[in-house]
A and B are shown apart, each in its own frame.
Chain A
Amino acid sequence: MYTIMVCEYLHNTNLLSPDLGQKLRKKIVTKNNNRNKIILDFAGYDYMSSSFLNQALGYILINKKWSIREFKKNIKWINVNKDDKLDFDLALENARNKLRLIQNNIDPEKFFREHLPAC
């Protein structure tokens, strides 16, 4: 079991940019490759964006071709506001959909352009 203090590691309490998400993902993957289960401790964060979560967590699910259940067996999170927990589930759900598209040789960006209503 390996705990990452997210805000300390990223030196930031505003978890908004995709770059920060990528940096966290690299750390998670390195530690998880040693078969450690990872605990992400979000104590002290102020804000969190969807793009941060997609980069930090979503792309792990996609790259490892995990199911959501496998993901949750390997990676857990604590000290997340009740309201924001929903964003974690949505990030994994969206990553699973993207993985399905990629496995069917469909480019997710093109897919979304064609399948989502104009806004």
Chain B
Amino acid sequence: MANIIKIEKILKPTSQYPIQNILLDTNIIINYEDPFGSVAPNLNAKISQYINVLKSHYTINSIFVTALEYFNYIQVGFYNVFVDTHEGTFEKYSSKEFKQLRNKNSEFAASWNLHLKSFVRTFKKHFPPFDTTREIYSLTVIQNFDGNKVDFGDEILYQYAMKLSYPVILTMDKDFKSYPDELNLIQL
């Protein structure tokens, strides 16, 4: 089972953990950015506070797969929220409909543009992807992937974390506990 570290421990000035980089899971970024104003206010405030303190001690990164998962979250979420709040009908996300609305509905396009700018800022400034030159997407990762314990995005995040001198992930996803104890999880 992965090693759990309480966040308060690594924030102590006497912290003995040799952490350099901390990788963030998608759920942390969603709860921090709160792109639709839907996150419980106290959770958003707590995560914002921790992230700001962690940033002053360590380098915090995402990975490209996390950016992809986050983009999917805002794209599908934005479409669902817009269509239902503006047109009063709940249509399940469709990429074809999304493109049509983006091209024909100026209000949709303007609102989506705000989310896009926010997306770029999130991964350019707040949580830049870790070591973009490293290539870990080998076929071995796919062949050895056990889809019954974690999803594929989690597996890639784990693979990246294991490349760190001190492998550590900040997440709220309990699935990561199924990894061996070489992996460290920061618990909120």
The CA of A41 and the CA of B125, in the complex, are separated in Å by 24
Main secondary structure of the interface of B (DSSP, over half): helix
B3 within 8 A of A: no
- Which of these, B42, B82, B117, B121, contacts A51 with CB under 8 Å? B42
Render B96-126 as a binary contact track against A, CB cut-off 8 A, 1 for contact: 0000000000000001001101100100010
Please give, as numbers and ranges, the residues of chain A lying within 8 Å of B121 by CB-CB distance. 83, 86
Please give, as numbers and ranges, the residues of chain B lying within 8 Å of A51 by CB-CB distance. 34, 39, 41-42, 44-45, 48
B52 within 8 A of A: yes
A50 within 8 A of B: yes
B49 within 8 A of A: yes
- Contacts A16-B45, A49-B48, A93-B114; A83 near B38 (Cβ below 8 A): no
- Give chain A's interface residue range (CB within 8 Å of chain B): 35 or more
- Which of these, A90, A91, A93, A111, contacts B84 with CB under 8 Å? A111
Please give, as numbers and ranges, the residues of chain A lying within 8 Å of B111 by CB-CB distance. 93
Please give, as numbers and ranges, the residues of chain A lying within 8 Å of B118 by CB-CB distance. 86-87, 90
The CA of A102 and the CA of B156, in the complex, are separated in Å by 40
Within 8 A of B (CB), among A100-119: 100-101, 104, 108-109, 111-112, 115-117, 119
- Contacts A83-B125, A104-B88; A115 near B45 (Cβ below 8 A): no
A74 within 8 A of B: no
- Contacts A18-B42, A111-B84; A117 near B34 (Cβ below 8 A): no
The CA of A21 and the CA of B33, in the complex, are separated in Å by 16
A-B contact pairs, 29 of them (CB 8 A): A14-B49, A16-B52, A18-B41, A18-B45, A49-B34, A50-B48, A51-B42, A51-B48, A54-B34, A54-B41, A55-B41, A83-B121, A86-B118, A89-B114, A90-B37, A90-B114, A91-B37, A94-B36, A95-B37, A97-B36, A97-B81, A100-B85, A111-B84, A115-B90, A117-B73, A117-B77, A119-B30, A119-B31, A119-B73
Residues of A within 8 A of B (CB): 14, 16-18, 21, 46-47, 49-52, 54-55, 58, 83, 86-87, 89-91, 93-95, 97-98, 100-101, 104, 108-109, 111-112, 115-117, 119
- Give 10 closest A-B pairs by Cβ, nearest first: A94-B37, A18-B41, A50-B34, A112-B38, A51-B41, A49-B48, A51-B44, A115-B80, A100-B85, A116-B77
